[in-house]
Each structure stands twice: as structure tokens, then as C-alpha cells.
Amino acid sequence: MPGDELYWFTTLAELERVGAAAERLHLAQPTVSRMLARLERRLGVQLFDRHGKRLTLNDFGRVYYEHARRAQAEMDAAAMELADLANPAKGVVRLAFQHSLGARVVPELIAGFRRTSGRVTFTLAQDAADSVTELVLAGTADLGLVSPKPIAPRVGWRPLLRQRLGLAVPADHRLATRRHVHLSDAAESDFIAMHPGFGMRHVLDDLCAAADFRPHISFECSNLTTIAGLIAVGLGVSILPLDDAPMNTPHPGLVLLPLADSIAVREVGMVWSPSAAPSDAVRRFRDFTFDWAAQRDR
């Protein structure tokens, strides 16, 4: 159904009077009547019951109206998206990030950027750190937020912030009453870890290697909140960020102990493909993110 037909038909269906619809559409009444007659001939059914000057949608008309209304909404959405893509003051940013950054870092960034940058549209994707980097290099995402720094050789990288790490233990664990611990203190414990390829798994593996032990992994999963829950019921220990959700409101059965190891931090940064030419919206969001990170360091 052509766009003009969508508009005049839905207008007529909602006003239910040819005169009122003609006035709204800035057309003559006979013109609206002829357009309706042609449409009904083409469809082979009448769409309205006639009651003098008033029209009422019948069963055929209601079915046609629902489809026309949805089609009009899709056309309007398409026009808006095209306008956003065409206007460099708006545009789209395809942002990928690992799951643990979705609770606070990503919402803070987008909210701050949108306060000064209008109707930039964001397409968000959450995945493991390695997968986020792959999305960026493949051109599926414009920018990525990951931790730690990826080992991929063809990716741009800019560190943004450093998050302190702690050892999460059950409340009845032998270390639970300590003020702080070294990771080696937990070397004999069962560990709960993210799946390989996830950022916090890389961090855990690197910290354990630096502490000169190989952790016994009792469970693997893909969500820090799940890890916190497993720890709280006594199924193991793990490394979690001290400064980010869900650890800001930990489970009652979990104790989060600051790690005294000098390297017990995770560095969060932004990745992009050096070979991709960023749109104006992507460039402005990247610059905003760098400024946001610099302000946090002050």
C-alpha cells in the first residue's frame, strides 16, 4: 500500500466522516470518496458500513485498518531512522561491551553523552570480552568496552579506568574475617570462574599465574551475579570488582575482601578498528568517553 494511501485511509477510518477526513487531508470531499471507491474495488470488498454521512469500519475494514496502521508506523520509523543516519548531528553508535560493564559503566556513559548530543541512537550488544573485540574487528560494532586489554594485534585500544578487585568468599570461609588478603591465601580453595574468553576469566588466570598457583575451577558460568550467588551458598570463591555492581549490594552470605596484591585491578578500556572510518556520531561518543575517563582520574 503506497504511503499516501496509508495516511488517507487511516485518517478516514479514525474520523469516520468523509468531510472531516477531507478537511484534515486538505482534499475535496469528492476526491476522498473517489479514492475510497477505487480502494474498495481493488480489494473486492467494502471496508465501511454507510450511515448517511457517517462511516463505520466493518469486519473487512477493521482487518485492513490494523494492517494499515502497523504499516504506517513502520514507514514512520523507517523515515526517522533514515533521517538520523543522514544527519551527522544524530546518527547511530553500535556499542558492544562485556556483561559486567552493563550495570553501571555503560548506562553512565550513554546518559552523560545523550545530555549533550541529542537523539543519537545506540545499538547495544553484550558478550564475552573476546567476542566483543571480534565484533569490532568484523565491523559489526563500532566500539567496544572490554577488560583486560585484548591481545588481538589489529585493534585500537584506549584505557579508561582501573577497577580494584577483591576476593569474594562465603561468610563462613576461613578468610572471611580478614581485612584484606593476598590471592595466594586462597590457593587451596575451589574457584568459581567465568567461561574462557570472558574478561574476568582472563583477569583471574593472570592473577593466579602471578601468585604462582593454578586454581581448581569447580564451576564456570557467564555472569558475575551468578558467581556471587554460588559463592554466597558456599560453593567456592572468586575474584570480583570492588567498585561495580552487583558487588555494591552483595548477597548476605558473601564477603568481599580487598586484595593486597599490587596487580589486583582490572583495566577497562575502549576498542575500535583502526581500519574503519568512524561516523561523526561514533567519533563524538568516543571523544566523550575519553573525556569522561579523564574526569574520573582527577
Residue 75: CATH number of its domain = 1.10.10.10
pTM attached to this predicted model? 0.64
Residues 258, 169 within the same domain: yes
Q: CATH number of the domain that 289 lies in? A: 3.40.190.10
pLDDT exceeds 60 at position 248: no
- What is the rounded distance in angstroms from the CA atom of residue 267 to the CA atom of residue 293? 12
| E strand or H helix that includes residue 125 | strand 121-126
pLDDT of residue 100: 85
| Mean local confidence (pLDDT), 230-258 | 82
pLDDT of residue 1: 44
pLDDT of residue 81: 64
CA distances from 73 to 10, 57, 259 (A): 11, 20, 54
pLDDT of residue 85: 64
Residues 180, 252 within the same domain: yes
The alpha carbon dihedral of 195, 198, 204, 206 has a sign of positive
Q: Which amino acid is at 167?
A: L
pLDDT band at 245 (very low <50, low <70, confident <90, very high): very low
Domain count, the chain: 3
Residue ranges making up the domain that contains 124: 92-159+267-297
Residues 27, 39 within the same domain: yes
Residues 169, 249 within the same domain: yes
Residues 255, 172 within the same domain: yes
Residues 144, 205 within the same domain: no
The DSSP annotation for 149-161 comes to ----TT-EEEEEE
CB distance 109 to 78 below 8 Å: no
CA distances from 111 to 95, 104, 129, 234 (A): 14, 11, 23, 37
pLDDT exceeds 90 at position 230: yes
Q: What is the pLDDT of residues 83-139, one digit of tens each?
A: 656 655 578 899 999 988 888 899 999 999 988 776 788 999 999 899 999 999 989
Most confident option among 117-126, 150-159, 204-213, 238-247: 204-213
Cell of 208: 593466579
**Considering just the CA atoms, what is the radius of gyration of the chain in Å?**
29
Which of 28, 56, 86 is where one domain is finished? 86
Which of 86, 104, 119 is where one domain is finished? 86
Q: What is the pLDDT of residues 23-39, one digit of tens each?
A: 888 889 999 999 999 99
Q: Which amino acid is at 86?
A: A
Residue whose entry in the numeric block shows the C-alpha cell 589486583: 264
**Partners of 143 in the β-ladder:** 95
Residues 240, 170 within the same domain: yes
Residues 36, 63 within the same domain: yes
pLDDT band at 74 (very low <50, low <70, confident <90, very high): confident
Of 109, 108, 141, residue with least CA distance to 126: 141
Residue whose entry in the numeric block shows the C-alpha cell 503506497: 2
What's the longest Cα–Cα distance across the chain?
A: 90
Label residue 82 exposed, middle or buried (CB < 10 Å: 0-12, 13-18, 19+): exposed
